[in-house]
Homo-oligomer: A and B are copies of this chain.
Amino acid sequence: MTIAGDAALALHLEVAATPTPGNVDRKRDAAGLRFETMQAGAVGAERGLATLADGAPVGDGFEQAVAGMVDAAGENTQFGSLLLLAPLVKAATEEHLSPEGVGRVVDRTTIADAVAFYRALDQVDVAVPDPPPDWDALDARRGSDAIPAVREEGVTMADVLARSAATDQNGAEWMEGFPRTFRIAEHITSGEGSILDRAADAHLRQLAAEPDTLVRTRHGVAEARAIQDRARNLLEAETDAIDHFAADLVERGINPGTTADLLAAGLFVALRRGVRP
């Protein structure tokens, strides 16, 4: 399988793994998001992922993947997953697929990559935490309106993600050598059962490990911590109890989308390490 093919397959497997409480899975749609829309997004993103493997810069390839996703799905389905997959695909192509390898990819990002990142934001409606006060001109919600400030201040894509690292798990992945991604990959690689069962288990463990960024942004830190606590209490539970938790989150419209992003990234690493469906 090609590197881009494994990245696309990781997106497809993430959607199918069940139960992944609060996120779309094989058994249930999430609040306002359907299984088949995510399938379309995953297919649409693949061409952009392939340009990354063919040598496109991280920012351009990410922007193309987001454009393909939106064209195919009609909405934002996997923006955060693609933000993680872009440097991982580059690392798999040009470096080692390791914390050090992806760290070198992050370190090499440029101002042009940051510009492409802000252009990509124009295409989607993403929920992001409030930026620090001195970062107002570079707030992700500005999209391409932030590009003059990007150029003026000379910030790279890594600089942009660094600013969100304290409040966003995906930003933290970029800055810290993708520890959550590689931990999830290790869990999937060393686990038992089908790849989808291992993925669902890894999703629950990640949910139990820390509050999900998207839940915290949309519903506040207390809700995010409550969901973390419930996940922790279910780590040794039967599937029925986890399914009950999943149904409850869907009903309440609570979607731990950043945990799904991390799962897609971890699945990609596991696939590259030889785990097959």
- Where the two chains meet, the residues of A that have a C-beta atom closer than 8 Å to any C-beta of B are 1-2, 5, 8-9, 12-13, 16, 26, 34-37, 39-40, 42-44, 46-47, 68, 71-74, 194-196, 276-277
Point out the residues of chain B lying under 8 angstroms from A1, CB to CB: 40, 43-44, 71-72
Q: Which of A16, A39, A196 has the most CB of B within 10 A?
A: A39
Contact A277 B37 (CB under 8 A): yes
Contact B72 A40 (CB under 8 A): no
Taken together, the copies of this chain in the complex come to 2
Q: Which of A34, A36, A40 has the most CB of B within 10 A?
A: A36
Contact B26 A39 (CB under 8 A): no
Q: Complex formed: what's the CA distance from A42 to B195 in Å?
A: 17
Contact B35 A5 (CB under 8 A): no
Point out the residues of chain B lying under 8 angstroms from A194, CB to CB: 34, 36
Q: Complex formed: what's the CA distance from A185 to B72 in Å?
A: 19
Point out the residues of chain B lying under 8 angstroms from A73, CB to CB: 277
Contacts A1-B72, A72-B9 known; A196 to B47 CB distance under 8 Å?
Answer: no
Contact A16 B36 (CB under 8 A): yes
Minimum C-beta distance from A125 to chain B (A): 18
Minimum C-beta distance from A26 to chain B (A): 6
Contacts A12-B12, A47-B5 known; A35 to B196 CB distance under 8 Å?
Answer: yes
Point out the residues of chain B lying under 8 angstroms from A2, CB to CB: 47
Point out the residues of chain B lying under 8 angstroms from A37, CB to CB: 277
22 contacts between A and B (CB under 8 A): A1-B43, A1-B71, A1-B72, A2-B47, A5-B43, A5-B47, A5-B68, A8-B43, A9-B40, A9-B43, A12-B43, A13-B36, A13-B39, A16-B35, A16-B36, A26-B26, A35-B196, A36-B194, A36-B196, A40-B276, A40-B277, A43-B46
